[in-house]
Every structure is written in C-alpha cells, then in structure tokens.
C-alpha cells in the first residue's frame, strides 16, 4: 500500500479508469473495516451486496468515495485519515440501492441477484437498514485523526444529503403516477436523488482537508453539478445505451415508462401530433416492443437526444469552470477534469 501511494502520488492519472482504480483497494478496505466486527448473517447480506463476498467481484465504480478522497488529496491532505468518511458515503449509497431495488422490483444489480430477490423483501429492508446504521457508526473511526467537531460536521453533511436523497426517491416514485413531469420538477428530483450525495462527497473531502468557506461553497456547487451531469448521462444510457455495456435492454427506461429526462424533454418540446401520440402510448398500462420503437422514432423526430445532450454539455461546462476556480493542486485539477469528461462520455 505504501509503495502504491508513493508511486501514485508522483503520477497524474490520465484516464478515469486509472483514477477509480487508484482508490479501489483502499475503499474496499474501508468497507471491510466498517463491517469487520460483525459476524451475524445480517452482515453476510451486506458483504454480498457490496461484492466483498468473493475476490474480484465487482462492487461498482465507487464514484462517491473516490471523489471524496480525490478532493482531499487535491487540496493537499492525505486521504488516509478520511477513509472512514469515504466508506460511509459508499455505504449510504448502497443502503439506498438495496431499498431502491425493492421499491422498483429490480431482480438484478451488477449482474447478480438483488438482495431482496435472494433473501426476500423483509430481509432486504433489514439489510438496507443495517447498511445505513453502519454508515453512521463508521464515522467514529474518523477519530482521533479528526476532532469530534469534525465528526459531527461530517455526520450532518452526510445525513442532510441522505434526507434529500430520500426526498428525491419520494419524488421519483410519485412521478410514476404522473403522465407528464415538468422539466423543472425533474431537475429538482435528480438534484435531490443523485445530486445531494455527490455534493456531500465533494464537500466532505473539502471539510476533511480543512478548506475555508469559499472553497467549501465551490465544492458544494461542483458536487451538485456533477450530480446533474451523472444523472443526465444515466438517463441517456437508459434509452440509447448499448446492452452489452450497460447490462440493460435497449430502451429499457421506455419499456418501464420511467419518467427520465428523454420523455420529459420530448413532451416539453414535441409538436401537437407527436405529443398526442406519446401521451397515448404512455397512457397504456404496459408497453410493447413496438411501442418502444415508435417512441424512439418520435424521440429522433423531436430531436430529444440533442436537447438532452445540450443539458449534459451545460453541466459539463459549469463543472469544468468550477474545477478551475477551486485551489486544487495541478495533479488534482487535471484528474478532476478527467473525471468530469468521463461523466459526460461514459458508456456504462
């Protein structure tokens, strides 16, 4: 580990994959540490969900803890003392995934059965609750490197973000029964559901690095914009993504009538006849594959992909300007821009 640190400290990673890879092992260690005192079967469910149950199993990109640790380093502080906070961010994200999978009835995540589909809904609820609880408990490991005051501040940042994330989940679920969602409502929903925890990830890094209020404020905003960029790209992949890369069927979000940005944008910009056709299709209880094709055609005609891409580009531009405005060191600034570019272009 020390060798690796010495090496990576002197090199600027030029791909997002290299940046994510640099922190992968430490984050996995942080997650294992958060669970290590617990041996009950409850924690086996958590290890399974996190992919810690078998070597080489994929626990996801770990974007949130990576951002937190990267911000620490880019502001000139070693990431090691902040690892428990980074692990807590990942635990909170994964608690929400375990419960989301129940709420959405999803059977698979990361190419494996979801917790609830393996152990049942009651145990799935319990596993999510345990994960959330451990996320909070784990913050105690910030001591003694950090003061109790910092621990309380991190606790507040993380839980305020979690509260917003839960609000966002509420809004997202309430959209299911709405035929049409205004763009502003959609953007507010993703700011809560996705933006809040990414904001907390970046801001926690700044807090742990002892940044002043101006930097804290810019980091907050940077995290919010990253959240918007991340979710817009996610929505694009849900409609125009490649099955082999995303693990989802083409047009998956159309088939399940998800009120993601493409349909929101389409209804806001369609001419009257296309709009009427889209609404007729979305009024149906269930959609056929032919419906999905028809919706895709209408999206092309309305120019939905270009409009959604414009919004992603705007977020990308704002994020890039923010990176330049924060006093990251050279390596940090360069790597942050690499990550921002990745979020605009990623295909999975």
Burial class (CB in 10 A: 0-12, 13-18, 19+), 213: exposed
Residue 310 CA, chain-centre distance (Å), reads 21
Question: What gap in Å lies between CA 274 and CA 287, rounded to an integer?
Answer: 17
**Cβ closest to a copy of itself, residue 122 vs residue 182:** 122
**Cβ closest to a copy of itself, residue 198 vs residue 295:** 198
Residues in region 171-200 near a copy of itself by CB under 8 A? 173-174
The minimum distance between CB 66 and a copy of itself, in angstroms, equals: 24
**Cβ closest to a copy of itself, residue 18 vs residue 167:** 167
Count helices and strands (H / E) in the chain: 18, 2
The minimum distance between CB 120 and a copy of itself, in angstroms, equals: 9
Residues paired with residue 108 on neighbouring β-strands, in sequence order? 113
Question: What gap in Å lies between CA 131 and CA 317, rounded to an integer?
Answer: 35
What is the per-residue binding string for a copy of itself in 121-140, x denoting contact by CB under 8 A?
xxx-xx-xxx-xxx-xx-xx
Residue 313 binds a copy of itself, judged by CB under 8 A = no
DSSP code string of 238-292: HHH--HHHHSS-TTHHHHTT---HHHHHHHHH--HHHHHHHHHHHHSSS--HHHH
The stretch near a copy of itself (CB under 8 A) out of 40-48, 57-65, 223-231, 270-278 is 40-48
Residue 156 binds a copy of itself, judged by CB under 8 A = yes
Give the one residue of 21, 160, 329, 345 binding a copy of itself; rule: CB under 8 A. 160
**Cβ closest to a copy of itself, residue 256 vs residue 275:** 256
Residues in region 77-116 near a copy of itself by CB under 8 A? 99, 102-103
């Amino acid at each position: 580990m020390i060798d690796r640190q010495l090496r990576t400290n002197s090199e600027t990673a030029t791909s997002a994959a290299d940046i994510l890879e640099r922190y992968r092992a430490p984050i996995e260690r942080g997650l294992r540490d958060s669970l290590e005192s617990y041996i009950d079967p409850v924690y086996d469910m958590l290890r399974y969900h996190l992919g810690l149950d078998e070597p080489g199993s994929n626990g996801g990109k770990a974007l949130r803890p990576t951002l937190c640790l990267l911000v620490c380093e880019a502001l000139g502080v070693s990431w090691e003392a902040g690892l428990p906070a980074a692990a807590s961010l990942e635990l909170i994200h994964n608690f929400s995934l375990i419960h989301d999978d129940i709420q959405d009835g999803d059977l698979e995540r990361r190419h494996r059965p979801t917790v609830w589909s393996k152990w049942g809904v009651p145990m799935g609820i319990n596993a999510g609750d345990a994960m959330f609880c451990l996320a909070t408990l784990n913050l105690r490991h910030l001591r003694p490197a950090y003061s109790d005051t910092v621990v309380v501040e991190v606790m507040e940042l993380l839980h305020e973000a979690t509260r917003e994330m839960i609000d966002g989940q509420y809004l997202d679920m309430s959209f299911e029964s709405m035929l049409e969602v205004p763009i502003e409502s959609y953007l507010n929903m993703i700011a809560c559901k996705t933006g809040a925890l990414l904001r907390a990830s970046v801001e926690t890094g700044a807090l742990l690095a002892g940044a002043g209020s101006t930097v804290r404020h810019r980091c907050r905003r940077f995290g919010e914009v990253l959240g918007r960029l991340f979710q817009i790209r996610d929505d694009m992949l849900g409609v125009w993504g490649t099955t082999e890369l995303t693990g989802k069927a083409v047009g998956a979000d159309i088939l399940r009538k998800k009120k993601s940005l493409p349909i929101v944008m389409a209804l806001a910009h369609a001419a009257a006849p296309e709009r009427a056709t889209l609404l007729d299709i979305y009024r149906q209880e269930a959609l056929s594959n032919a419906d999905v094709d028809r919706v895709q055609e209408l999206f092309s005609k309305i120019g939905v992909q270009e409009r959604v891409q414009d919004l992603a580009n705007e977020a990308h531009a704002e994020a890039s300007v923010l990176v330049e405005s924060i006093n990251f060191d050279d390596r940090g600034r360069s790597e942050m821009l690499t990550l921002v570019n990745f979020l605009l272009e990623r295909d999975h």
